[in-house]
Amino acid sequence: MTDRNQELFARAQLSIPAGVNSPVRAFRAVGGTPPFFERASGANLWDANGKRYVDYVGSWGPMVAGHCHPAVVEAVREAASRALSFGAPTEAEIELAEAIRRHVPSIELLRLVSSGTEATMTAIRLARGHTGRSAIVKFEGCYHGHADSLLVKAGSGALTFGNPSSAGVPAETAQHTIVLDYNDTAQAQALFAARGAQIAGVIVEPVAGNMNLVLPEPGFLHALRELCSRHGAVLIFDEVMTGFRVAIGGAQAHFGIEPDLTTLGKVIGGGLPVGAVGGRRAIMERIAPLGPVYQAGTLSGNPVAVAAGLATLRLVEQPGFQDRVAAATRALTGGLADAAREAGVPFSAQSIGSMFGIYFRATAPASFAEVMQSDRERFGRFFHAMLARGVYLAPSAYEAGFVSAAHGAAEIDATLAAARASFRELA
């Protein structure tokens, strides 16, 4: 039988670098051929060979309501039949902005953009424009999209300015970004004590979901809030992944902390390209045309994308939605941990809301360094064993997983059966 995935992967590489339009899709971290997908429904995906998978990637977060939810598809169809784009204001944009503000009270004003990267890039520019300062603080292992200022790794010492983590980023740009260790409160305090007056803002994933899943330790986010307030820096919560996932009001609602700016994406587009940057009125009023910080977008607030996002938020808002998805996620991680224990494989798993992490190490990691200590080779074997059994996990040990409202007991049970067999293969 011909393998259509292999054929398509070979053909794709003739026109597209590595055959993919975003690097992790190329399966370099796990090896092998990525499935090319043809359709999706609920918790399931079908690839070009017609093979079905239970999906735990969810398009990297947006698909919290499940794939092709009829209400979302109908909203998109209806919007598309009226207009694909105006490049001019629409009522639906107000409704989406109002829905976001209702659930995320720290957002007084917000602007819609078309990706998470655009949102964080704008948040950084606003922090600098608002404070008149240049330095930005980020944390190793947190990902905030691919803007130059944020593709930076730690310099020679923790409190020195950073180095580019990508070719093409000028050292002069990276020098304005300071990279600290996630969950190291004392280090952040030392930095602010040394050069608080230079710092425009701190950007952080309030739950880190781009180095697998790392939870903030008690007090870490509160300390960042306190340091930014004391030194006049802008605290930016990058909730592109955690927004409407960790809780309906995002991680800031879960932990009870109000950032100055919040970036959103993923769920608020329901699978189409929507991002947002919002926060305190005094900062957001600096944005063009109200203020001097420039920002714009031809397709920002696109009516079809906004319709998908709004329909998704309407589902997420339904009573019990968050609790149901969070319970399914806990059932998954609990079951995976049990299956690993029975097979004698060192493993741990945890979740928050509908995000989860699985780790090939005995305890859940609390830092980037601990994430790096997990057994990557074992993860790769587990990943392929699960893929063969029809379970699609993120093809990297450094990504969070996602459960949707369409993942019922049947899907979780099938996943756990596949996991028991896969863990036994590893043992």
- The nearer residue to ligand PLP, 140 or 205, going by C-beta atoms, is 205
Q: How far is the CB of 115 from ligand PLP (least distance, A)?
A: 4
What is the rounded CA–CA span in Å between residue 411 and residue 417? Answer: 10
| 182 is annotated as an active-site residue | no
- Catalytic pick among 56, 143, 182, 398: 143
What is the rounded CA–CA span in Å between residue 123 and residue 149? Answer: 11
What is the rounded CA–CA span in Å between residue 357 and residue 37? Answer: 24
- The nearer residue to ligand PLP, 93 or 118, going by C-beta atoms, is 118
- The nearer residue to ligand PLP, 5 or 351, going by C-beta atoms, is 351
Q: Using CB atoms, what's the residue nearest to ligand PLP?
A: 116
| 359 is annotated as an active-site residue | no
Q: How far is the CB of 60 from ligand PLP (least distance, A)?
A: 6
- The nearer residue to ligand PLP, 93 or 205, going by C-beta atoms, is 205
DSSP 287: B
- Catalytic pick among 238, 260, 392, 398: 238
- Beta carbons of 129 and 143 less than 8 angstroms apart: no
- Beta carbons of 398 and 211 less than 8 angstroms apart: yes
- The nearer residue to ligand PLP, 205 or 411, going by C-beta atoms, is 205
Name 108's Cβ contacts closer than 8 Å, sequence gap at least 6. Answer: 101, 278, 279, 280, 281, 284
Is the preceding omega at residue 289 within 30 degrees of 0, hence cis? yes
- Catalytic pick among 53, 266, 359, 392: 266
The angle formed by the CA atoms of residues 76, 81 and 82, to the nearest 5 degrees, is 105
User: Could you list the residues that contact ligand PLP (CB under 6 A)?
Assistant: 115-117, 120, 143-145, 205, 209-210, 238, 240-241, 265, 275
- The nearer residue to ligand PLP, 62 or 335, going by C-beta atoms, is 62
Q: How far is the CB of 403 from ligand PLP (least distance, A)?
A: 16
The angle formed by the CA atoms of residues 357, 185 and 156, to the nearest 5 degrees, is 90
Q: How far is the CB of 182 from ligand PLP (least distance, A)?
A: 13
Q: How far is CA 105 from CA 57, 199, 267, in A?
A: 29, 25, 18
Q: How far is the CB of 142 from ligand PLP (least distance, A)?
A: 7
- Beta carbons of 291 and 129 less than 8 angstroms apart: yes
Q: How far is the CB of 306 from ligand PLP (least distance, A)?
A: 15
DSSP 215: P
| 266 is annotated as an active-site residue | yes
Q: Please name every residue paired with 277 in a beta bridge, in sequence order, or none if there are none.
A: 111, 263
CB atoms within 10 A of CB 17: 10
Q: How far is the CB of 240 from ligand PLP (least distance, A)?
A: 4
User: Coil, helix or strand for 46?
Assistant: strand
- Beta carbons of 281 and 287 less than 8 angstroms apart: no
- The nearer residue to ligand PLP, 120 or 329, going by C-beta atoms, is 120
User: Coil, helix or strand for 39?
Assistant: strand
Going by DSSP bridges, is the β-strand pair 275-279/109-113 parallel, antiparallel, or unpaired?
Answer: antiparallel
- Annotated active-site positions, please? 143, 238, 266
